[in-house]
Amino acid sequence: MINYRKTSYLRSAGSTESFLRDALPQVAMAGRSNVGKSSVINALTSQKNLARVGSAPGKTTQINYFLVDETFYLVDLPGYGYAKVSQAEKARWARLMEGYFASGLITLGVQIVDARHKPTENDLTMSRWFLDAACPYLVVANKLDKLKPSQIAPSLELIRQTLSLPESVPLIPFSAEKGTGCEELRAAIARLLAAPEAE
């Protein structure tokens, strides 16, 4: 059993030279700016302020590494799709992300989308990056607490259809706010880290 409480921030990388390159698995978390990546990491690890929960979206332009129970890295990737960033910032983001995806360092991809909305063009692009990377991959539908119970199933179906997710890709309903889905996400991570070639 992985003890998520034993998670600590390790360091950040702003360029390919500073990527962590050791033998430990890397669970890469990506999502639109403000979708709740940092909140999901905090919920998963039962720590309130581990990953900074941003009041200023689009400000996390580095890759942040967290070491979980000396077993694997949670990798908080910089968010995408924030309108108010400059062309230069967007180009920097693209270089960093392309470098990370090309590095072959991703063991498991986790994409976080907003449970309330149809995935955006940027979500679709991100999803393709993960599928092309050919690593195991799963999707988390966050902010579930903002949906009425009757809206949950149709919303999940819309996400699966819009992203054209293969049946084998888990889609996990989640609320970082309420803690919904934490156990399911931990179980999926454990399963995919244990037998990555199975999916």
Binding mask 47-76 for ligand GTP (x = CB under 6 A): ------xx--xxxx----------------
Verify binding: residue 31, ligand GTP, rule CB under 6 A.
yes
- Using the minimum distance from each CB to ligand GTP, give the nearer residue, 122 or 199: 122
Verify binding: residue 175, ligand GTP, rule CB under 6 A.
yes
Verify binding: residue 99, ligand GTP, rule CB under 6 A.
no
- Please list every residue from 50 through 69 that binds Mg ion, using CB under 5 A: 54, 60
Verify binding: residue 120, ligand GTP, rule CB under 6 A.
no
Between CA 194 and CA 172 the distance in angstroms is: 19
Total residues binding ligand GTP (CB under 6 A): 22
What DSSP assignment string belongs to 132-159?
Answer: HHTS-EEEEEE-GGGS-HHHHHHHHHHH
Backbone dihedral angles phi then psi of residue 15, each to the nearest 5 degrees: -155, 165
Nearest CA-CA partner of 81 in 119, 108, 116, 52: 119
Tokens of 162: 């819009």
Verify binding: residue 45, Mg ion, rule CB under 5 A.
no
